[in-house]
Amino acid sequence: MLPNVLQRSASDHIPVLAEEVRELLAVRPGETVVDATFGAGGHSSLLVSDLDGDGKLIAIDRDPSARVYFDRFKAGKTVQARFLRGEFSLVLSQLAANDVQVDAILLDLGVSSMQLDRPERGFSYAADAPLDMRMDTAAELSARELVNEADERELGLIFRRYGEERYARQIARAIVRRRGERPFERTTDLADTIKQAIPTPARFGDGHPAKRVFQSLRIAVNDELGALEAALPAAVRMLRPGGRIAVISFHSLEDRIVKQYFRAQARGCTCPPEFPICNCGNEPVLRDLTRKPVRPGARELELNPRAASAKLRATVKVSD
């Protein structure tokens, strides 16, 4: 039976693949754990329960509203818990540079439920709200600036690269044409323009017609892929030998970055295949704990449909 924390937390947040994360990270009393994407604290609540009152938790989040959830989470906990606000790749890099050593790290990528469920944050095409999408509300670049100021070519590249949008060029052209009349300010205004830009049959395909464009804008605004690429090496540097890292991704671009990095670090030798013996001397740093990504089961999907695209990969550090 799933613990209550997996069903509903005080913030009405359901952590994705929580039991699988718990099993793969295998946290033990006295260890130091990093939740690099704290959010509403669902995963952290489960992980600190395995610390059994003896250990440390470092919680990281760029969203200022996460501090409220952390303060609520920390009340009554006997473990040492510290909240660091910032983009996780920067915070992890700073910790690694200061030789902070830990035993387990979790990265739960993408937008959190607490952001999706607040329409005023502008992440959703389903609610009328200001066009924002910033995970850090103090950041300069918002979706509004990007949509109204990027040229047609740049917009098309963003939609194609980060959203894998088939009609990227047509949508970019329609956005530039429409903003020439008046700038985009609201999410529904942008969603309607996207819908009108694509062929009629495509409007009735899989999901909302604006889904991939909104995803791509969110990724670009928050530099999510760049942050992930910088965070993985910093996280591995922080791990003690025997330390574990788990990453939950929600689309193929993220999962590909995680898979390729884990495999490269598990391979060790970088010599060309035609070399008869290894000349580079590189040793494997990681060992995969998940040969294939772990996906949510039927019961979890029933409880939390948002978990449908989640993929979990985990690895263990075998040497420095």
C-beta separation of 81 from 56 below 8 A: yes
Closest CA to 111 of 102, 120, 121, 101: 121
Enter the tokens of residue 10.
């005080």
Q: What is the pLDDT of residue 122?
A: 75
C-beta separation of 268 from 127 below 8 A: no
Residues in the chain: 320
Q: What is the pLDDT of residue 268?
A: 75
Q: What is the pLDDT of residue 31?
A: 97
> Rounded CA gap, 74 and 21, in Å?
21
Residue numbers of the chain with a pLDDT score lower than 50: 1-11
Q: What is the pLDDT of residue 77?
A: 86
Q: What is the pLDDT of residue 117?
A: 63
> Rounded CA gap, 263 and 242, in Å?
17
C-beta separation of 33 from 27 below 8 A: yes
Pairing of strands 102-108, 239-249: parallel
Stated pTM of the model: 0.88
Which stretches of 117-246 are DSSP H helices? 143-149, 152-163, 168-179, 187-197, 211-222, 224-238
Q: Distance from first CA to last CA of the chain, Å, rounded?
A: 38
Q: What is the pLDDT of residue 207?
A: 73
Q: What is the pLDDT of residue 1?
A: 32
Amino acid at 300: E
User: If residue 315 lies in a helix (H) or strand (E), which one and from where to where?
Assistant: strand 311-317
The domains of the chain, with CATH numbers, are 4-114+224-317 (3.40.50.150), 136-222 (1.10.150.170)
Q: Please enumerate in sequence order all residues whose Cβ is within 8 A of that of 13, keeping only pairs 6 or more positions apart, or say none.
A: 39, 40, 41, 42, 112, 113, 114
Q: What is the pLDDT of residue 137?
A: 86
C-beta separation of 186 from 129 below 8 A: yes
> Rounded CA gap, 177 and 175, in Å?
5
Q: What is the pLDDT of residue 283?
A: 86
Q: What is the pLDDT of residue 116?
A: 64
Q: What is the pLDDT of residue 18?
A: 94
Q: What is the pLDDT of residue 3?
A: 38
Q: What is the pLDDT of residue 244?
A: 98
Q: What is the pLDDT of residue 127?
A: 85
